Structure 1
Amino acid sequence: MSAEPDPTRTYLLILSEREAVAWVLRHQQMAFPSTRRAEVERLAVGDRLLLLTTRGCWHNPTRDRTRIIGTAEVSSPVRTYEEPVTIAGRDFPRGCDLHLDNVTPYRTGVELSPLVPELEAFPDARPGAWAVRIRRPLLELGRADARLLTGELAQVAGDPAELVPEYVEKVRAAVSR
């Protein structure tokens, strides 16, 4: 008799704006744009998310790298908000609740680029071609990819209660300049 397959999925949750990172971490929610995406529609309570910040997220893509900065679990279905959430001048009409498991210190994390050759989620081996796959809110990962990235992250991540306030404060300071 075979075991039941694990119904949960693991995704990269792609964040490309520092204000969005601070909002997601502070509110433990994810807000989605109005554009319908199949992966957002499939997102379910219990699914695992690896929070990824893009090179452009911190507004200095020549210095910054694409990194995994934490893990979370989806804790509510995706729903339409009564009023859209506005983050960095963009409206997001729907979203879901999250439970943050861990997070890395501000602007650190597991750099994705060196791991791309080992990841099934990025089958195109041409230099830089993998970045096209992270121009969406979610990218589903297979078990091996999720295991590799989660293992790498566990070595550098800590308690969100201790680390999230620094993200919120530093983003607030950067935006107010």
Structure 2
Amino acid sequence: GEVPPGDALLRQGAQVGDDIYISGSVGDARMALEVMRGQLSLSAADFDSCRLRMEQPEPRVALGLALRGVANACIDVSDGLAGDLGHVLKASQVGAVLTTDWLQDSAAISSAMQSLPFAKRLDMALAGGDDHELLFTAAPEQADAVQHAANEADISVTCIGRITPGSGLQVLDPQGVPISRRFASFDHFVH
């Protein structure tokens, strides 16, 4: 396909102060994988739902098209939210702070995910992979335009953090305390 000049959604372009958003929900594919490996137990209905998300992800093309001119940077989350956000941060030469209050109850996590302990939800959401959702940044004054794009594409979006000066990713627990651990994502050159 072709994209009009200047309309492509790229990894670079995130600006200090941008809000960070995720489309749809994250962590379901990882939950399905863990069930298949015998490392997690889910109800049959939850497993079927998660397995469908893993085996037949729905590309967010309509949202990507609707975000042209709204989002400053964008990436498909396939190797884990934290790792793919790291690609945006590196390409844009910025840092980020992610909140985790959205892991308590939001459109960004499924009902199956809500049944897990917080630490497990955190790992599934940030390091899971194969979500194929869009992670993007937009200026705070674009919040209405972001919601309009989401409505137009008929997909939920959740604000999960903010772009900061510097480099690296800081993750805060629901009380705002930094979480001191790294969230490894899939590395194609190791596996």
Same fold (TM over 0.5): no
Q: Which has the higher contact order (CA 8 A, sep 6+)?
A: 2
Q: TM-score, normalised by structure 2?
A: 0.28
Structure with the largest fraction of strand = 1
Q: TM-score, normalised by structure 1?
A: 0.29
Structure with the largest fraction of helix = 2
